[in-house]
Amino acid sequence: MSTATIAEDALKYTHVAMLLHWTIALLILANIALGLAASLLPTSVLPDTSVRFVIDTHKSIGITVLGLAIVRVLWRLTHRPPSLPGVFAGWEKTAAHVAHIALYVLIFALPLSGWAHDSAWNAAATHPMHLFGLVPWPRMGFLMHLDPALKEQLHTQLGTLHTWFGYALYVVLALHILGALKHQWIDRHSVLGRMLP
């Protein structure tokens, strides 16, 4: 391997980090589409069984993201990412780090708030959850066993929290993507290449 190739490799993420990054990104985009479809499309457009299928798939993808987020944090804690290029201004490095931390928080906050919202659903007991229709998945017991009136109230509040985490994700994701595109097209220092094989 030439010295130039070794130097370039030192600036890139590992293949595991790339795989986790793009898998989580694709699953989150799919889940935003499914979550919005379930909450926005009138039932005249989606019949009841399709709505259920959309929401159940959304829940399964969300729990998968939670599992991958745990793997990703463990990987991140044991592997140092390549440092940002020296040409970055100080404020750009700070903005990138803040956006990355916010994204880590949100990839946990979204599935956990969705799972909590679903666990406080009064019909949860009669609608058991199965990941992709196959693997039984528990609800959060401390929420499921509350008084029905309190559960109803928490179900609504946790649903609102889940939606707000979604709004926060749109903002941080937009900043993350715009930042990558600015470096790619305006500053002409490819950061996208660091996350691509």
**Cβ count within 10 A of residue 42:** 7
Asked if 96 interacts with ligand HEM (CB under 6 A), we say no
Q: Tokens at residue 126, please? A: 């009669």
Which of 56, 68, 96, 118 binds ligand HEM (CB under 6 A)? It is 118
Q: Tokens at residue 128, please? A: 């058991």
User: Cα–Cα distance between 186 and 26 in angstroms, integer?
Assistant: 26
b/e string for 89-120 if b means 16 or more Cβ within 10 A? eeebeeebeebeebbeebbebbbbbbbbbbbb
Asked if 117 interacts with ligand HEM (CB under 6 A), we say yes
Name which of residues 156 to 185 contact ligand HEM (CB under 6 A): 162-163, 166
Minimum separation from the CB atom of position 163 to ligand HEM (A):
4
Q: Which residue carries 């694709």 as its tokens?
A: 26
Which of 17, 20, 56, 62 binds ligand HEM (CB under 6 A)? It is 62
Minimum separation from the CB atom of position 182 to ligand HEM (A):
25
Name which of residues 24 to 43 contact ligand HEM (CB under 6 A): 28, 31-32, 35-36, 38-39
Asked if 115 interacts with ligand HEM (CB under 6 A), we say yes
Which of 17, 20, 58, 173 binds ligand HEM (CB under 6 A)? It is 58
Helix (H, G, I), strand (E, B) or coil at 86: coil
